Amino acid sequence: MKELNDQLLKVKAQMRERERLIKMLNNAKEEKRILEEKKDNLYKQLKKEELDVEKLEGISLTNFIITITGRKTERLEKEKKEAIAAKLKYDVVKDELMDLIEEIKALEKSIQGLGDLEFEYRNVIARKEKMLKSMDTGLASRLDRITEEESTLMDKRKELEEAIYAGKELLSSLDRVNKSLDSAKSWGTWDILGGDFIATMGKHSRIDDAKREISKAQLLLSRFHRELEDVGGKLDIDIEIGSFLTFADYFFDGLFSDLAVQSKINDAKQKVVDTKVRVNTVIRNLREELKDIEDRIKNLNRERLNIIEQA
């Protein structure tokens, strides 16, 4: 047991050291970002100062005006000093950045050199837990209870994650439905305003596209319903968008059918908006439940580790 405790202390010390190094690495990366931004700004300033010097030394209107006023030498000297100062500032930041990049590489190497500490920690904990169970039936019972609760919660977490994923897929599908409805609406408006046969065909094609997207969304909605049933929830919505799926104005003539299509499209779009609002609400509730489950799993894990480490 003493050997396992010594190994545990060593691994935990290494994990604390890694946390310290990671914190230093994150700070260094943020400093690098700031220096890179500063370097870019100084480079722009340097180029501006060099251009000012070139204008005074070359043939330009600025050079001519300053020359005839007798201030060329004074102005040129000033611009050269500013260019030199800008170059010095730029070089300093560039050198700082290079040193910082080397420091980041060294920190990353040190962190990598510590190896897979989580694996080592789990290995020692598992060996110690096994030994404790063989030595102390009271501890074994407590550890078994924690394991059973944790297993149940992990199954619940998986179901929630799958339900959230299904909901996100449904939302993406509804976005595609909305986009296809917008396209169909645009072609329908053109047809109402006197579009030709091509416009009518185009409108028909876009309506067919919208139908296909709605059918896909319905399949995903069914899947979302099933996933919600797994987690004990339900979603009392339906995206069977009126009679839109069977409505095809290509077989009708005149203004009435075109206006009817526009009305159907508007109804469908509103249904999509309403559905998205309700799905988003359900997903938000699922995420809150998932966070609660994850917190409970973490607490159980801490309880187990405390029992094992202190034994």
> Which pLDDT tens digit goes with each residue over 218-265?
778 877 887 887 777 655 554 444 343 433 333 233 333 456 667 777
Q: How many domains does the chain have?
A: 2
256 and 176: one domain?
Answer: yes
Burial class for 207, CB neighbours closer than 10 Å (0-12, 13-18, 19+): buried
Does pLDDT of 304 surpass 70?
yes
Q: Choose one of 88, 104, 135: the last residue of a domain.
A: 135
CATH number at residue 233: 1.20.1330.10
192 and 272: one domain?
Answer: yes
130 and 191: one domain?
Answer: no
209 and 303: one domain?
Answer: yes
282 and 179: one domain?
Answer: yes
87 and 194: one domain?
Answer: no
Residue by residue, DSSP assigns 37-53 as HHHHHHHHHHHHHHHHH
105 and 150: one domain?
Answer: no
Q: Choose one of 117, 135, 153: the last residue of a domain.
A: 135
Q: What is the mean pLDDT of residues 280-307?
A: 91
More confident residue, 186 or 92: 92
Are the CB atoms for 7 and 123 separated by under 8 Å?
no
212 and 113: one domain?
Answer: no
120 and 187: one domain?
Answer: no
Q: Distance between CA 284 and CA 277 in Å, rounded?
A: 11
78 and 218: one domain?
Answer: no
Does pLDDT of 63 surpass 60?
no
Domain that holds residue 28: 2-135
Burial class for 214, CB neighbours closer than 10 Å (0-12, 13-18, 19+): buried
Are the CB atoms for 188 and 261 separated by under 8 Å?
yes
pLDDT of residue 80: 78
* Sequence-ordered list of residues with C-beta below 8 angstroms from that of 152, at least 6 positions apart, any chain: none
Are the CB atoms for 173 and 217 separated by under 8 Å?
yes
- pLDDT tens digits, residue range 10-48? 888 888 888 889 988 998 999 899 889 989 998 998 888
293 and 145: one domain?
Answer: yes
Q: From 289, 244, 293, 294, select the one nearest 264 (Cα to Cα).
A: 244
CA angle 4, 5, 7 (to 5 degrees): 65
pLDDT over 70 for what percent of the chain? Answer: 74
| Average pLDDT score over the chain | 76
More confident residue, 211 or 177: 177
Lowest mean pLDDT among 139-143, 151-155, 237-241: 237-241
Strand (E) positions, the chain?
Answer: none
Q: Choose one of 96, 113, 135: the last residue of a domain.
A: 135
